Amino acid sequence: MRMNRLGSITLAAASATALTCVLGAMPIAEAAPAKASIRPQAKAPSGPDAWANYTVPKPSYPREARTVDVEIPMDDGVVLRADVTRPALADGSPAPGRFPVVVVQGCYGKPVALLTDSDYARYGYVEVIVDVRGTGNSDGSFRALDSRERKDSYEIVQWAAKQPWSTGKVGAAGFSYYGASANRTAEIAPPALKAVVAGASPVDIYREFMADGGHWASPSFLWFLLELTGTLPSPSLDDPAKALEILRKRLAADGNGIPWRFDQLIKLFNGQNNWDNADWRERSLDVTKIKAATLVYTGWEDLFFRSSPRQYRDMKLQPGRKQLVIGPWTHYTLNKSVKPEETPSPTKMQLAVAWFDHWLKGRNNGIDKVGPVTLYDQGADRWTQYKDWPSTATDYRRLYLNGTKSGTATSLNDGTLAAAPPTTGGADTGQFNLLGGLCSRSTTQFLGGAIPEGVPCNTDNRPEEKHSFTYTTQPFTTATQIAGSVGLTLRGSSTAKDASWVGRLSDVAPDGHSTPMTQGVLLTSRRSYDPAKTVYAANGDPIEPYHYYTPDRAQPVSPGQQATMHIEILATDWILKPGHRLRLTVSGSDTPHIMPSLQSPERFGIATVHRDPSNPSYLTVPLRAVTN
């Protein structure tokens, strides 16, 4: 059953059957050498309900008391404004005593934040929702997650800790931009910050938002539009003259004569910001500096999915102090429930409150024993807890692109994936669809859930395969898990000046239905990568290549010239059932995820995938036999 479409099965309907991994051999016809065993994924002991290990919190206060536009002065004289919401008694008066504080910071205006994170006060917290500088009712110039905004975060946390209604312990929380702010607050490590809950938060703004594989990506334009929602002062500002003055300053030109927001968009169109540069490095996150206990969550089809598993892996925190949750969600369809409908369902808010209850209030509620990695296993449609993910003990296998016909695909070539490299040379040549990807899983993912339920291209990759190259395994004889990042090493050429390459994985059922799993893209000239920052499988294959994406590292090719691309295919956790096959689809377009630009005409031509025994093309895949 396909999970993560808009309106499809919610978290509340998700199965919570536990997954058990066992030792086994490569379960496809082209077997791996006998000496190479497949080790089980490290899995936490759990019952049939992956969410049964902690006490679900309940509201403890009947009402809340909110004060709007509380001024918070910064060290440079800029005044930020926050809505402060305190626990309240039945008569609406603020509850006496001191409470831990949850800070939420965003660029869309405080009223937007109130729609998504507004219940903390009822659970015994003071919630401080802040308009970051240059947005909403706050003064200053907006620069979106820059170093000044992080310094503000430090001061906000320390200010909150010193207020008369505060215990001195502070948490940071949020989703999307709010999550990015929470993460960057954690990086700068104010002393009062003790816990963080960050959802769908980009770590590397360039690679996970602005561009993908060296292409201008559609989420960047979406982000620009969302930023504009914070341009106007919030309705809570009842002084029209003050509101107009704030708006005038925001629309005023910078030194180059163009407001910053619009300057960023122009640089995307002309290609200047399609390269990694100092601006993007300033906005990136070094998760190794995070000291506060941090819960990270995202969806398999979220815009920023790439970030969350890497953040969990790279944070220098012990499991339990760090946790990861990945569910069957897109960015804008992240459901509130994280438990089966037939049992009491904790919401996203309750999960966050449980985290804060433990780390800010000292409650022994068991939340630190959950997971520490809790995933929705796709293909099997069930929640599972793991000791770690991706496992450091993962065994990767190469599956080589082969010219033998699989007899299962309607595509430009209908090739196969085999455990043994090809013995003779060959190539697949054809013309890709210029509008490839228009109706696909990636459109759903990178436009935040734009394709509604019932549209088959969101759940069946066969329309994409007709104008693409495909390579398909033999049927798996036992249930097999793909858990982690996947690398695609592709030897290709094109008559285009600078071809785009798109790799998609799908789960092919016995009836031929091809369910999309995950994908990756790369522009030929952007293929050089930093060996020191690249993540490799045990056999030395790059599975998370860290491409430079800088002009000095570009590697142009002439039309027809062969090049080897290492394409990062986003991590997945998927169960292939017995009788199912794994399929790789290779194409040259992923519209509208890869946005058109001035360089677009250079990317399309006659494409060729080369299958030479001495220089083969292959997938590097983490495969594990499973039971249950």
Both 356 and 423 in one domain: the answer is no
Q: What is the pLDDT of residue 517?
A: 95
Q: What is the pLDDT of residue 377?
A: 87
Q: What is the CATH number of the domain that holds 82?
A: 3.40.50
Both 466 and 579 in one domain: the answer is yes
Both 275 and 397 in one domain: the answer is no
Q: What is the CATH number of the domain that holds 482?
A: 2.60.120.260
Q: Please give the structure tokens belonging to residue 307.
A: 């970030």
In a domain, 312, yes or no: no
Strands 215-216 and 211-212: antiparallel
Q: What is the pLDDT of residue 226?
A: 66
Give dist(CA 206, CA 214) in Å, integer. 9
Both 462 and 358 in one domain: the answer is no
Who's near 3: CB < 8 A, 6+ residues apart?
A: 9, 14, 300, 328, 376, 378, 381
| Domain enclosing residue 150, as ranges | 63-286+352-363
In a domain, 385, yes or no: no
DSSP 24: B
In a domain, 103, yes or no: yes
Low-confidence ranges of the chain (pLDDT < 70): 1-49, 117, 223, 226-227, 236-237, 251-258, 334-346, 392-393, 453-454, 596-600, 627-628
User: How many separate domains does the chain show?
Assistant: 2
Q: Please give the structure tokens belonging to residue 37.
A: 């065993």
Both 146 and 256 in one domain: the answer is yes
Give dist(CA 524, CA 533) in Å, integer. 20
In a domain, 334, yes or no: no
In a domain, 328, yes or no: no
In a domain, 475, yes or no: yes
**Each residue's pLDDT tens digit, 43-81:** 433 334 677 778 889 999 999 999 999 999 999 999 999
Q: What is the pLDDT of residue 255?
A: 56
Give dist(CA 366, CA 369) in Å, integer. 5
Who's near 214: CB < 8 A, 6+ residues apart?
A: 274, 522, 523, 525, 526, 547, 549
In a domain, 2, yes or no: no
8, 217, 458 from 1: Cα distances, Å: 10, 29, 13
Both 404 and 265 in one domain: the answer is no
Both 356 and 467 in one domain: the answer is no
Both 467 and 580 in one domain: the answer is yes
Both 359 and 408 in one domain: the answer is no
Give dist(CA 281, CA 289) in Å, integer. 16
Both 189 and 241 in one domain: the answer is yes
**Each residue's pLDDT tens digit, 586-595:** 999 998 898 7
Both 397 and 542 in one domain: the answer is yes
Q: What is the pLDDT of residue 308?
A: 95
263 close to 270: Cβ distance less than 8 angstroms: no
Q: Please give the structure tokens belonging to residue 268.
A: 């995307």
In a domain, 386, yes or no: no
575 close to 425: Cβ distance less than 8 angstroms: no
Q: What is the pLDDT of residue 270?
A: 75
Both 477 and 606 in one domain: the answer is yes
Q: What is the pLDDT of residue 412?
A: 97
